[in-house]
Amino acid sequence: MFEDKTLICKDCGNEFIFTAGEQEFYAEKGFENEPGRCKNCRDSRKHSGRGGGERETYEATCSACGGVARLPFKPRDEGRPVYCSECFARQKENG
């Protein structure tokens, strides 16, 4: 039913094979579009994160220990507690 197809990666321009097995998987999952990138480019894109750079972090004062809490988001509500990694883990353990 499916046959291997040669596609061109839209990032690097190299040819890659869209195998019959991959096509069958895509069909089972209901995916309608063929992959646009080769495996290497997909993997490097996955590992680069959003925007391709380091994730922006924000600093705040930990509500539990008073130390520096580095956050992947900008805290908005001053009334809500913010925890450093260690205190957050403790809070999670204690429920």
For the chain, the domains span 5-52, 58-94
What are the pLDDT tens digits along the chain (95 aa)? 899 999 999 999 999 999 999 999 999 999 999 999 999 999 888 877 655 556 788 898 999 999 999 888 888 877 889 999 999 999 888 87
Task: Report the amino acid identity of residue 62.
Answer: C
Q: Residue 39 phi/psi, 5° resolution?
A: -60, -45
- Is this prediction's pTM over 0.75? no
Residue 22 CA to residue 3 CA, distance in Å, equals: 10
